């Protein structure tokens, strides 16, 4: 009976095993899930479900400071369907077919467990771990060079904490979970040493060894030694290449060469420029510039190679620095003429010498009075013709208004702003009609503004009979006279001159300058004297020397009228004429009807009225000198 039962069971197991051909054997569990009897399509569906848990499994990368989480999918972790399918279908079919019924009996009491096979994509894992590394890692500080007692020494960088990605990748492959969805924990390793590369130290040793003696530089045919400490102080360490390198600080090197050879620094003394026609150039002292772009690299290579002396080539360029500064282009120039050899020419040329090289900064203003100051003999000015209160006179600095007018016109055509000016009160035909300016200290000034983004250089030149003002800058605007009108203001004439400015960006604007001219010397717009008449003393009267109808000079009566005549004085106190009518010695000629003529002789009193000689009167207060309204223009 027992044998019969055993044989029957064996037959049942064999039949059941054969009935599962192409299916998963009975009682097989994949990742804890019963998949026994599933066909191929059903098994694929189950593996897809299992894989969804695998790719979302959290991966924990632990460091001494913290744990960082990343999804398994970012590391390329997924179910290996081919290997898992093979393992699942092989379960229950191990060994010979004769023995399989016995394992079938065992599966009735204990299921056959199959582990899912997981696969790690190395490339994806490395990329994902690299991203984690950026978060976890702290880059060590790079080593640097320091100068200690004139010798280069290598200073280590600060320690860092760099994630060892290669080792972490190997550990991750060995730490895959045995079931889907289970967290993955791996220990991260970091490098914290601040290592000093022996190659870098070797480079430092070479630099020290090759600069024990001063570096011999040959500059413009002259031997210039550079002390070892100065050379070593220029060395910088470069850590951005595959091999350690050094370089020299070019700006510091160039500054050292400039100082050692007396080459002018980049700042330009504009008073020493050379102007030839419309071309402005640097003087020789500024035209030698240090140095060629590759000078620092060539110098370092020569030192490391032990090649000395080292030739340093300078740049000879007397234009480019001015172009870079923005003052290499002639914006406008203007010339006025004058007779040679006059005192006023000394003042005009002195003004030009003082102003030559002045610069109007972008958006800035130039004041002629502020720049030159008071015109005095101590500054080289001499007495010459001026206009005070509409009358020609003489004073120190006379003639400088011709310089002001020349500068005014140069600025007019250069398109600069003319912020403050005043025309002469009397028109003088050596100047452009209605387009001129005068100055006096300290009241009347010529102020010019610079509306451009570049500096403007003022460069006066002169000959024995002319003065020229050139303006150099960047010609972004030009000015031209586009109209002129006159109008009467009383007996004066006002002249309005229109200027049109055209900018390189297409903008156009229009402004005007104005001049107001007197009818003649000494008369204002109402036909009245511009100067108050002097107060005459006893026995004096005013005389009209300019023949304009107004007395302007005091003269003794005895000199003005001949003997046996009497002066006839009008209402302004000026002698109108000398009357020839004569009265007896004891009679006084008298104008009884007030017409200005003597018409009666009246007997003198016994007690004559005291004369000024017998009864002195207080002397009048001295008349103050008139304030000058303008200077610098002779007749």
* 222 has a pLDDT exceeding 50: yes
Q: What is the pLDDT of residues 312-348, one digit of tens each?
A: 888 888 888 888 889 989 999 999 999 999 999 999 9
Q: Which CATH architecture has domain 198-324?
A: Roll (3.10)
Predicted confidence at residue 416, as pLDDT, reads 97
- CA-angle at 333, arms to 328 and 338, nearest 5°: 140
Q: When comparing pLDDT for 578 and 252, which is higher?
A: 252
- Which stretches does DSSP call E strand in 504-612? 508-517, 540-543, 553-556, 566-569, 575-579, 587-590, 600-603
* 530 has a pLDDT exceeding 80: no
Predicted confidence at residue 524, as pLDDT, reads 82
383 forms beta bridges with: 396
Q: When comparing pLDDT for 495 and 80, which is higher?
A: 495
What is the mean predicted confidence (pLDDT) over 172-188? 66
Q: What is the pLDDT of residues 614-632, one digit of tens each?
A: 344 444 444 333 334 444 4
CB 181 within 8 A of CB 59: no
Residue 490 gets the label, from left (phi > 0), alpha (psi -120 to 50) or beta, of left
Q: What is the pLDDT of residues 404-441, one digit of tens each?
A: 999 999 999 999 999 999 999 889 888 999 999 999 98
Q: On the CB side of 441, how many CA atoms lie within 13 Å of its CA?
A: 15
Contacts of 103 (CB under 8 A, 6+ apart): 92, 94, 95
User: How is residue 593 written in tokens?
Assistant: 């009807």
What is the mean predicted confidence (pLDDT) over 454-465? 96
Q: Is 180 exposed, middle or buried (0-12, 13-18, 19+ CB in 10 A)?
A: buried
CB 567 within 8 A of CB 530: no
Q: When comparing pLDDT for 118 and 105, which is higher?
A: 118
Predicted confidence at residue 217, as pLDDT, reads 92
Between 240-254, 273-287, 360-374, 454-468, the lowest mean confidence (pLDDT) is in 240-254
* 608 has a pLDDT exceeding 60: no
**How far is Cα 149 from Cα 156, in angstroms, rounded to an integer?**
18
DSSP string, 195-211: PPPHHHHHHHHHHHHHT
Predicted confidence at residue 415, as pLDDT, reads 96
Predicted confidence at residue 418, as pLDDT, reads 96
Greatest Cα-to-Cα distance within the chain, rounded to the nearest angstrom = 202
Highest mean pLDDT among 185-199, 304-318, 607-621: 304-318
**How far is Cα 424 from Cα 630, in angstroms, rounded to an integer?**
7
Q: What's the whole-model pTM score?
A: 0.54
Between 166-170, 382-386, 613-617, the lowest mean confidence (pLDDT) is in 613-617
* 100 has a pLDDT exceeding 90: no
Predicted confidence at residue 569, as pLDDT, reads 65
Phi and psi at residue 321, to the nearest 5°: -60, -35
* 20 has a pLDDT exceeding 70: no
Predicted confidence at residue 72, as pLDDT, reads 76
Between 16-30, 72-86, 400-414, the lowest mean confidence (pLDDT) is in 16-30
Predicted confidence at residue 417, as pLDDT, reads 97
Strand ranges of the sheet holding 58-62, from the earlier edge strand across to the other edge: 67-71, 58-62, 184-187
**How far is Cα 567 from Cα 558, in angstroms, rounded to an integer?**
9
Highest mean pLDDT among 25-29, 139-143, 387-391, 473-477: 473-477
Q: What is the pLDDT of residues 259-277, one digit of tens each?
A: 888 775 556 888 989 999 9
- 236, 351, 391 from 194: Cα distances, Å: 19, 69, 89
Q: When comparing pLDDT for 59 and 67, which is higher?
A: 59
Q: When comparing pLDDT for 26 and 207, which is higher?
A: 207
Q: What is the pLDDT of residues 536-574, one digit of tens each?
A: 777 677 777 776 667 777 777 666 666 556 666 666 666
- The residue length of the chain stands at 635
* 470 has a pLDDT exceeding 90: yes
Predicted confidence at residue 322, as pLDDT, reads 87
Predicted confidence at residue 180, as pLDDT, reads 58
**How far is Cα 456 from Cα 314, in angstroms, rounded to an integer?**
29
Between 48-57, 114-123, 396-405, the lowest mean confidence (pLDDT) is in 114-123
Report the share of the chain in percent with pLDDT over 90.
32
DSSP string, 496-508: EEEEEEEETTS-E
3-state secondary structure 256-267: HHHHHHCCCCCC
What is the mean predicted confidence (pLDDT) over 482-503? 95
* 463 has a pLDDT exceeding 50: yes
Q: When comparing pLDDT for 627 and 102, which is higher?
A: 102
Predicted confidence at residue 581, as pLDDT, reads 58
Contacts of 188 (CB under 8 A, 6+ apart): 61, 62, 63, 68, 136, 163, 164, 168
What is the mean predicted confidence (pLDDT) over 350-361? 95
The residue extents of the domains of the chain are 2-136, 198-324, 327-517, 540-603
Predicted confidence at residue 320, as pLDDT, reads 82
* 515 has a pLDDT exceeding 90: yes
Mean pLDDT for all residues in the chain: 78
**How far is Cα 524 from Cα 522, in angstroms, rounded to an integer?**
7
**How far is Cα 38 from Cα 533, in angstroms, rounded to an integer?**
135
* Residue in 312, 308, 305, 309 with CA at minimum distance from that of residue 209: 305
| Residue 412: strand, helix, or coil | helix
**How far is Cα 362 from Cα 371, in angstroms, rounded to an integer?**
17
What band does 387 get if pLDDT is binned at 50, 70 and 90?
confident
CB 71 within 8 A of CB 59: yes
């Amino acid at each position: 009976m027992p044998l019969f039962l055993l044989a029957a069971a064996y037959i049942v197991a064999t039949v059941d095993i054969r009935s599962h051909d192409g299916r998963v054997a009975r009682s097989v569990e994949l990742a804890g899930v019963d998949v026994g009897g599933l066909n191929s399509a059903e098994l694929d569906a189950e593996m897809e479900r299992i894989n969804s848990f695998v790719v979302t499994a959290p991966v924990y990368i632990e460091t001494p400071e913290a744990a960082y989480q990343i999804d398994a999918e970012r590391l390329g972790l997924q179910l290996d369907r081919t290997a898992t399918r093979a393992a699942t279908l092989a379960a229950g079919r191990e060994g010979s077919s004769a023995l399989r019924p016995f394992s079938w009996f065992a599966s009735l009491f204990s299921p056959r467990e199959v582990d899912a096979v997981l696969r790690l994509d190395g490339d994806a894992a490395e990329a994902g771990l690299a991203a984690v590394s950026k978060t976890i890692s702290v880059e060590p500080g790079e080593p640097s060079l320091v100068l200690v007692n004139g010798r280069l020494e290598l200073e280590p960088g600060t320690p860092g904490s760099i994630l060892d990605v290669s080792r972490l990748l190997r550990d991750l492959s060995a730490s895959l979970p045995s079931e889907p969805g289970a967290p993955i924990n791996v220990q991260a390793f970091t490098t914290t040493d601040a290592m000093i590369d022996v190659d870098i130290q070797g480079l430092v040793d070479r630099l020290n060894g090759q600069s024990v003696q001063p570096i011999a530089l040959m500059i413009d045919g002259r031997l210039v030694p550079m002390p070892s400490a100065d050379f070593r102080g220029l060395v910088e360490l470069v850590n951005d290449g595959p091999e350690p390198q050094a370089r020299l600080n070019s700006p510091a090197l160039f500054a050292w060469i400039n100082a050692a050879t007396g080459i002018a620094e980049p700042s330009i003394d504009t008073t020493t420029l050379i102007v030839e026609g419309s071309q402005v150039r640097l003087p020789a002292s500024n035209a030698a510039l240090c140095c060629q772009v590759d000078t620092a690299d060539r110098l370092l290579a020569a030192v490391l190679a032990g090649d000395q002396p080292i030739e340093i080539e300078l740049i000879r360029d007397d234009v480019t620095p001015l172009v870079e500064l923005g003052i290499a282009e002639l914006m406008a120039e203007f010339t006025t003429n004058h007779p040679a050899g006059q005192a006023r020419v000394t003042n005009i040329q002195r003004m030009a010498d003082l102003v030559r090289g002045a610069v109007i900064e972008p958006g800035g203003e130039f004041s002629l009075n502020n720049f030159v100051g008071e015109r005095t003999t101590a500054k080289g000015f001499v007495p010459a013709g001026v206009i005070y209160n509409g009358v020609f006179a003489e004073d120190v600095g006379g003639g400088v208004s011709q310089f002001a007018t020349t500068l005014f016109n140069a600025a007019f055509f250069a398109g600069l702003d003319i912020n403050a000016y005043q025309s002469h009160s009397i028109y003088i035909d050596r100047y452009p009609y209605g387009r001129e300016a005068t100055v006096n200290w300290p009241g009347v000034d010529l102020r010019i503004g610079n509306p451009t983004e570049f500096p403007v250089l003022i460069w006066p030149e002169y000959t024995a009979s002319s003065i020229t003002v050139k303006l150099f800058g960047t010609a972004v605007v030009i000015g031209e006279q586009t109209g002129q009108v006159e109008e009467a203001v009383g007996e004066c004439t006002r002249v309005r001159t229109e200027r049109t400015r055209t900018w390189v960006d297409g903008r156009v604007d229009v402004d005007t300058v104005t001049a107001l001219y007197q009818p003649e010397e000494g008369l204002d717009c109402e036909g009245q004297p511009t100067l108050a008449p002097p107060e005459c003393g006893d026995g004096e009267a005013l005389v009209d020397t300019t023949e304009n109808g107004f007395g302007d000079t005091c003269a003794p009566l005895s000199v003005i009228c001949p003997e046996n005549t009497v002066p006839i004085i009008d209402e302004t106190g000026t002698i109108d004429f000398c009357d020839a009518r004569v009265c007896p010695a004891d009679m006084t000629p008298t104008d009884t009807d007030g017409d200005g003529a003597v018409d009666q002789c009246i007997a003198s009193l016994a007690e004559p009225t005291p004369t000024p000689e017998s009864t002195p009167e207080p002397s009048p207060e001295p008349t103050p000198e008139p304030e000058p309204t303008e200077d610098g223009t002779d007749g």
